[in-house]
Amino acid sequence: MAARKLAITGGRVIDPAQGIDRIADVLISNGKIDEVTAGTTGSAPDGYEHIDASGKIVSPGFVDLHTHLRDPGQEWKETIVTGTRAAAFGGFTTISAMPNTDPVQDSAAVVDDVMRRSAADGLIRVLPIGAISIGQKGKQLAPMGELANSGVIGFSDDGNPVTDANLMRQALSYSVELGLPIINHAEDKKIGAGGVMSAGTVATRLGLAGVPAEAETAMVARDLNLAALTKARLHIPHISTAGSLIALRTAKESGVDVTAEVTPHHLTLSDEWVYGLKGVVPTTVGPEAYDTNTKVNPPLRSRADVEAVIDAVSEGLIDIIATDHAPHAATDKVCTYNEAAHGINVLETAFSSVFQLVDAGKISVVRLIESLTSGPATILRKDIGSLKKGFSADVVVIDPGSKWIVNPEQFESKSVNSPLAGVELTGRVVTTIYQGETVFDLSDVVASAGAKQ
């Protein structure tokens, strides 16, 4: 690492881990944070490179607990290289690689390979998640101790729920000693069997089979009971229903060691987006009746559920925002809604989409940044997600007034499966710094877009 010295001056520095929210300068040297100054000088000390962040927000780099990198095995959808580039574009300096790759990350050999290639080829930090069960088949526990020794930050069969309650109990029990969370995809597939979107009026109008909210709440309730029984750490991924929140609140109040995440899309899009009209409800349903880029698991829920998860993030009942970035090839989405793959491409739109809730006064900007930085870092128990002295210089500069129209064709991701295509968002990451080096700069993107014309 070069001995780069960098001063980011005059921005509104928000670092929830330290309770910092003030106009200040961030000084960086040798890839580490040196100091967040008391006020701003407006200029860089001698020998420092300078970023003028006046009018901007300066935050710790974002930390994602839920990313699907598709590498190894489905490199036509995403790779470690393109996925980490997409992450940097979105302001993320740490992402967690879900194990549903091919082969599955259920052995030290596969995890070691992902870690080695991430360190060599990745633009930012990649933390692997190990599988709960061999092959994510839900039959036999993966070698959890071996995976922990390899450096996994938790265990998940994401995509597949652990349906066998006894296996889930065993996984939770073993995880206690390892000190790592179990992240169970919370869905009772039998309750939602055959469903492709949330049950409700939209599903009925479109003639699509619906998944009731209880498919999630039933599994959340089971997992909370097992976490209470085993005193293990449970992390609930992509929580999406008001009913799950009732169970989550009760469990937290009774001392269960549980945390929960929500995705940007479950915070901002309802099932009305399935119509493909950016949330507008049509008077008649025509031949182009739906947008397969809205197909995701758990499905986009009712507006009431969306309001409930927004309130839960705002008050801190839901601990963090995680992307569930799930890139898919065009062939997985240019098809009928029934045939389409589940998943939304999120890394590059995550911050901007949720920032609309800040502009609407529903979530404070400090809480939003906390849910993307110190929140996930606390769950990971790692020294990241803050601008504390000596921490890795992972920093994001955000322009809260910058407007942009989402164009997936310009994504760094290999895939373009975003329902936000063509939508104008306000608030954008303009610079991402990882270990003191600039890994994304919006002016480079604008310059190259100009050069193409």
How far is it, in rounded angstroms, from Cα 260 to Cα 241? 12
Single residue of 34, 71, 78, 158 touching Zn ion by CB under 5 A: 158
How far is it, in rounded angstroms, from Cα 432 to Cα 396? 5
Contact 153, 63 (CB under 8 A): no
Residue 404 φ then ψ, to 5°: -150, 150
| Strand duo 20-29 + 234-236: pairing | unpaired
Residues 6+ positions from 27 with CB-CB distance below 8 Å: 5, 6, 7, 33, 34, 35, 36, 37, 45, 48
**Number of shown-chain residues binding Zn ion (CB under 5 A):** 2
How far is it, in rounded angstroms, from Cα 440 to Cα 245? 36
Q: Which is nearer to Zn ion, 392 or 415 (CB)?
A: 415
CB under 5 A: which stretch of 49-57, 115-123, 154-162, 206-214 binds Zn ion?
154-162
265 binds Zn ion (CB under 5 A): no
Please give the residue whose beta carbon sits closest to Zn ion in the complex: 185
Beta partners for residue 441, in sequence order: 431
Closest contact distance (angstroms) between CB of 249 and Zn ion is 22
Closest contact distance (angstroms) between CB of 239 and Zn ion is 11
Active-site choice (324, 332, 394, 399): 324
Q: Which is nearer to Zn ion, 262 or 430 (CB)?
A: 262
Closest contact distance (angstroms) between CB of 159 and Zn ion is 6
Closest contact distance (angstroms) between CB of 265 and Zn ion is 13
Closest contact distance (angstroms) between CB of 22 and Zn ion is 38
Q: Which is nearer to Zn ion, 70 or 185 (CB)?
A: 185
Single residue of 70, 185, 301, 414 touching Zn ion by CB under 5 A: 185
How far is it, in rounded angstroms, from Cα 212 to Cα 100? 25
DSSP 434: E
Q: Which is nearer to Zn ion, 158 or 394 (CB)?
A: 158
Residues 6+ positions from 62 with CB-CB distance below 8 Å: 90, 91, 92, 93, 94, 350, 351, 372, 373, 396
Active site residue 257: no
Q: Which is nearer to Zn ion, 294 or 392 (CB)?
A: 294
Catalytic residue numbers, as ranges: 324
Interacting residues with Zn ion (CB under 5 A)? 158, 185
